[in-house]
Amino acid sequence: MTNIHAPEVLISEVGPRDGLQSVKATMPTADKLRWIDALAAAGLREIEVASFVPAQLLPQMADAAQVVQHALRHTGVRVMALVPNLRGAQAALQAGAQKLTLPVSASPAHSMANVRKTPEAMVEEVKAVLRLRDEMAPGVPVEVGMSTAFGCTLQGLVPEDDVLRLAVLLAEAGVDEIGLSDTTGMGNPAQVSRLFKRMFQEIGPLTGAAHLHNTRGLGLANGLAAYEAGVRTFDSSLGGLGGCPYAPGASGNVVTEDLVVMFEAMGVSTGVDLHKLMAARAPLKAGLPGEPLYGMTPEAGLPKGWV
C-alpha cells in the first residue's frame, strides 16, 4: 500500500509539544530526544518539537532550545516550534527553529483567557513576529493555528464569519499559512468541510493544517472531511498524547498511527513507515511511564497482508 511518489499528505507530528505540554509529568530531556529521533526515523517530515514559553509557566518546555538544536540533526524533517508572542519567536529563531506556529484564537473569550489579548491584538503580535522573522531568518515560514475555530468551551458557538474575518486579517498581515484547530473537540464533519471550503475561497493556498481533536470520537471523520475539502496537512499526536485532565478518556489530539492507517489504506501516501511509527511508542512510554496512550491501530495491529 506504500507509494513511491512524493507523499500526498503531510502529517505534522505535534506530540513533543502539544502532547507533552498537556500532561502533568515532565519528560526527561534525554527521553524526549530519543522519542524525536524515533519519530524522524519513521519518516515524519514535520515535527513540532517545543513551545517557547517561560519555564515557570510550562516546566515541560524548559529545554526547548536544546530540543530544537538536537532535532535539527535530522535532514528531511522540518523542525517546528510554537511561539505565543514576540519574545518566544525571538528565542525560537535563535535556537534555529525552521518553522514558527502561533496560536490565535477565533473566540474572544478563549483569547482573553489564554493570552490575555483580543484576537485583533493577537493579529498585531503576529505582525511584530513577521517583522522579526524578516530581520532574523527570512526563509522561515510563520503559520497561524486558529484555535477554537469550531467552537469554544467558554463562549460556546464561534460564528464561521468570525473565523473567516480573522483569517483574512492574518492573510493581509503576511502569514505564510493559516490552519484551523478544533481545540475543544466540538467540530463535526459537515462543519469542518464547510469551513475549510470557505477558507479556500477566501484565502486560497494560504489555507493550512487541520488540527483536530478526538474528544467526542470524531477526529478521523473530521480529518477525512478536511481532506475531501482540499486540506493536505494534518496535525496529530503519537498515541493521542495530549488530552485534557478535565475530560477523561481519549480527549486529546487525533492519533498519528490511526490517521496514517486511514490515509494509507485509502491509497493516499503519507511517507510514514507504520512499523517504525509503532516502534516510536517505546521511547514515549519509557519517558512517561504510566501515561495512558490511545489508538485503535496499536491495539488491533496492522491488517493482514499490510505492505
Question: Tens digit of pLDDT for each residue in 98-124?
Answer: 999 999 999 999 999 888 999 999 999
- Cell of residue 109, nine digits: 473569550
Reported as half-sphere exposure (CB side, CA atoms, 13 A), residue 140 has a value of: 25
Residue 304's pLDDT band, with cuts at 50, 70 and 90, is confident
* Total H helices, total E strands in the chain: 13, 8
Residue 43: what pLDDT? Answer: 98
On whether residue 233 sits in a domain, the answer given is yes
Q: Taking the model in full, what pTM does it have? A: 0.95
Stretch 234-260: mean pLDDT: 80
- What is the separation, in whole angstroms, between the first and last Cα of the chain? 6
**What is the secondary structure of 4-68 as a DSSP string?**
SSS-SSEEEE-IIIIIHHHSSS---HHHHHHHHHHHHHTT-SEEEEEE-S-TTT-GGGTTHHHHH
Stretch 35-51: mean pLDDT: 98
On whether residue 303 sits in a domain, the answer given is no
- Cell of residue 18, nine digits: 502539544
On whether residue 219 sits in a domain, the answer given is yes
C-alpha dist (Å) from residue 104 to 44, 174, 265: 25, 14, 34
d(CA 77, CA 238): 16
Q: Which residues are catalytic?
A: 244
Residue 211: what pLDDT? Answer: 97
- Cell of residue 103, nine digits: 496560536
pLDDT in tens, 149-178: 999 989 999 999 999 999 999 999 999 999
Residue 2: what pLDDT? Answer: 46
Give the structural domain span for 256.
11-293
On whether residue 306 sits in a domain, the answer given is no
For the chain, the residue count is 307
On whether residue 207 sits in a domain, the answer given is yes
d(CA 46, CA 256): 12
Residue 33 CB coordination number (10 Å): 21
Reported as half-sphere exposure (CB side, CA atoms, 13 A), residue 273 has a value of: 10
d(CA 102, CA 104): 6
Helix (H, G, I), strand (E, B) or coil at 275: helix
d(CA 126, CA 85): 8
- Cell of residue 56, nine digits: 515557570
CATH of the domain at 78: 3.20.20.70
Residue 150 CB coordination number (10 Å): 26
On whether residue 302 sits in a domain, the answer given is no
Q: Residue 207 CA to chain centroid, in angstroms? A: 14
Report the number of distinct structural domains present in the chain: 1
- Cell of residue 88, nine digits: 518566544
- Cell of residue 286, nine digits: 519509557
- Cell of residue 99, nine digits: 518553522
Per-chain mean pLDDT for the chain: 94
pLDDT in tens, 172-197: 999 999 999 999 899 999 999 999 99
Residue 244: what pLDDT? Answer: 54
d(CA 158, CA 84): 21
The answer, yes or no, to whether residue 127 has pLDDT greater than 70, is yes
Q: Which of 238, 292, 293, 283 is nearest to 260 (CA)?
A: 238
The answer, yes or no, to whether residue 1 has pLDDT greater than 60, is no
